[in-house]
Amino acid sequence: MPGREYVCGDCGHRFGTPDGEANNARALMCPSCGSIDLSIVSVEHAPQVVMRAAEPAKAVERWRKSGVGAS
């Protein structure tokens, strides 16, 4: 999980730093273009979606009858 996320002002590349790495944007460079024009961006994680079936699925028996429709 990244410690902070940055966006490059020149190329728009978005990247993060690991926990414990430099938190000063002036000490970092964009890994894509090498620019130091970086902005710290806020990270919003999407909520976890949990889907549950309303009813159990019903089993359908489809047996192929021998001799009927066989080629």
- Threshold 0.85, pTM exceeds: no
pLDDT one digit per residue (tens) for the chain, 71 residues: 446 888 999 999 998 887 766 566 557 888 899 998 988 888 777 788 888 778 877 777 666 666 555 55
pLDDT of residue 1: 45
CATH number (domain holding residue 17) = 2.20.28.10
Question: Of 41, 36, 46, which is closest to residue 16 (Cα–Cα)?
Answer: 41
Q: Is 37 left (phi over 0), alpha (psi -120 to 50) or beta?
A: beta
Please report whether residue 64 resides in a domain. Answer: no
Please report whether residue 66 resides in a domain. Answer: no
d(CA 11, CA 38): 10
pLDDT of residue 42: 80
Domain count across the chain: 1
